[in-house]
Amino acid sequence: MSPLSLYELNSLVREVLELELPDTYWVQGELSEGRQGYGGHFYGELVQKDERNVAIVAKARVNCWANVYVGLSQRFREATGETLRAGMQVLMEVSVTFHQQYGYSLNILDIDPTFTLGDMARRRQQILRQLEADGILHDNQTLPMPLLTRRIAIVSSQSAAGYGDFCDQLENNDYGFHFHLQLFPAVMQGNRVEESIIAALGQIAEQADLWDVVVIIRGGGATSDLSDFDSYPLAACIAQMPLPVVTGIGHERDETVLDYVAHTHLKTPTAVASFLIDHMGEQAVRLDDLSQRIGHSVTGTIAREQQRLIRLATVLPLAFRNMRQQQEHRLERLLQRMKAAHSERQQGEQHRLERLLHRLTTAYNEHQQRERHRLDLMEQRLQSLDPKLLLQRGYSMTFGPDGRLLRDATHVAPGQHITTRLENGEVESVVNLCQELEN
């Protein structure tokens, strides 16, 4: 039997596979690689791991041609909110192919989004069960929301449009409430979401006495980035924060693990701003209600006492005339004291708000002055380093044939051209003698 060439052997393998495996098959596994290449084709690798989910027991190269991948990826994204990526569990309909040059691979014909949705839900439930087993799932939700939520620590990206809308809505609220806001910047999409948000929360926790509430807002972004928030370390960090955490990740359909552990979760940054404004408004309404109840109580008391005095005066006009006068004077003094106390309370709160506004304005002005002074110093330093100043003092700069500043006579040779720059103009020279000065 004559030997076969490698191409002939591979052709034989291809014929056997096409003959023995002509059908399509539904295969489940994990995408360990996935990318869209030139021409819109999708290339990846499908693997199966052992029961401990550690060692790979099987793997195969997968691909999906552009004419199929366009519709398939759009349908998958609409169903799951995700794009095909590494680390995702998938159920695919494939055909077995073998190429003489590229070898064995699976050609993707269809995909079942419900399988991936189930895996995402299972992973989310695993995180929630672990949080509950650790006894921290509802820790943040048990914290009382402060009556006044004026001092707000914000975890977001400074460039996010949602952050600007959030701040604008708070600063221009209809009630005229004054909020103190500070941004703790974090990456809100991509590989560094978990790391950067945990770092920002750590900074806030170290100065927890300065804040009333923590707000985590994303402000839009792709729905496919929501899986970045399904993280046990991040969820555990939020659950154990010493301050109430309010989330507004900016998604309408799905909830992340963060939403389950946060004190309050809302859909968008503007919804979070409305929540904080309404919370302050509720406290203002409570104060107004208490003020009205006190006023009504005082008015009712006065009316009842007046009626009692009239009855007493009718029955015993002579005996109780002096007593009636004393009671009327006492009630008038009580009314004046109540009105004075109410007015004093109002003035005190107004003065307190004015002091707070003055402190904020003073701090801002001081910070602005310090930064302006720092910029002036930097400008002076830069000006002092300007080579033009040396030239004006009579110094010159000589450049070698290569255009670089000449510092050593041994770096040029006789006959080479050099350029000397003065304060006004340049001088071209030819080297006759090169001599290095002895120290």
How confident is the model over 131-150, as pLDDT tens digits?
Answer: 889 999 999 999 999 988 99
**Residue 312 in this model has a pLDDT that exceeds 80:** no
Residue pair 65/41 in contact by the 8 Å Cβ criterion: yes
pLDDT at site 228: 72
**Residue 298 in this model has a pLDDT that exceeds 70:** yes
Provide the edge-to-edge strand list for the sheet that holds 151-156. 180-185, 151-156, 213-217, 245-248, 264-266
Q: What is the pLDDT of residues 326-359, one digit of tens each?
A: 888 888 888 888 888 888 888 888 888 888 888 9
**Residue 315 in this model has a pLDDT that exceeds 80:** no
**Residue 367 in this model has a pLDDT that exceeds 70:** yes
Percentage with pLDDT > 70 across the chain? 92
Out of 25-39, 78-92, 155-169, least confident range: 78-92
How many angstroms separate the CA atoms of 221 and 120, rounded? 19
Burial status of residue 306 (CB atoms within 10 A of its CB: 0-12, 13-18, 19 or more): middle
pLDDT at site 239: 93
The tokens for 306 are 């007046």
**Residue 185 in this model has a pLDDT that exceeds 90:** yes
**Residue 254 in this model has a pLDDT that exceeds 60:** no
pLDDT at site 250: 67
Q: Specify the higher pLDDT residue, 164 or 394.
A: 164
**Residue 210 in this model has a pLDDT that exceeds 90:** yes
What lies within 8 Å, CB to CB, of 346 at 6+ separation is none
Residues making up the chain, counted from first to last = 439
The tokens for 400 are 């070698």
How many angstroms separate the CA atoms of 155 and 167, rounded? 12
Query: Mean pLDDT for the chain?
Result: 85
**Residue 164 in this model has a pLDDT that exceeds 60:** yes
pLDDT at site 221: 55
How many angstroms separate the CA atoms of 1 and 23, rounded? 33
Q: How far apart are the first and last CA of the chain?
A: 87
Question: What average pLDDT score do residues 256-281 get?
Answer: 90
